[in-house]
Amino acid sequence: MIEPLITSISKYIKLTSEEESIIKSFWTEKTLQKGAYLLRNGDVCRTDNFVINGTLKAFYINAATGTEEVLYFAIENWWATDIDSFQKQQPSIYNIQAIEKTNLLQIRYDSFQEMLKQVPKLERFFRIILENYLGSLQKRIIHNNVYDAEQRYLDFIKDYPKIADKVPQYLIASYLGVTPEFLSRVRKKHKPS
């Protein structure tokens, strides 16, 4: 089950067979059933998580409205971790939950640090992953501040077609900051004839 992770790493750095073996020794498999939590608000994020298959959502509960607000989705070959909580080993401010049965690879914080010591070139891989993540966050901030909701939806389905196909529309509405009814109207308007 670790091959997708090795493939993902190999897109950015060349690994020897010895390095692959070292990496494999640090990761464990975990399966979450639909509705199960990977992380709850207030708990410390103890693992970095690579999605083999399935879908997760990261969300927080808006204290003022009591509504669930989706921060991001994670599908196969994506990461699902509260980076701040994991890196600082302090309580998380949000939740991560399985939308469907999800298989993960996990590495604990101390094991992660040891793996980086044993395979230093992994620092480059994780830097690239973080740069990609920060780029997507910047794009989302700009889209939320500049574009109207309809354009945000059109960009979402263009940029993330696999997520748009897998995730219920009410969760996409939450991610975009619109009501499910509004999203339904936009989808009808742009439905291919």
pLDDT digits (tens, 9 = 90+) for 110-169: 999 999 999 999 999 999 999 999 998 898 888 888 988 889 999 999 999 999 889 999
Tens digit of each residue's pLDDT (9 = 90 or more) over 4-13: 999 999 999 9
For residue 67, give the 3-state DSSP assignment: coil
The domain ranges of the chain are: 2-115
Q: How far is CA 9 from the centre of its chain?
A: 16
Q: What CATH architecture applies to the domain 2-115? A: Sandwich (2.60)
How far is 119 from 112, CA to CA, in rounded Å?
10
Which pTM does this prediction carry?
0.91
Tens digit of each residue's pLDDT (9 = 90 or more) over 7-35: 999 999 999 999 999 999 999 999 999 99
Q: Which of 32, 144, 155 is nearest to 95 (CA)?
A: 32
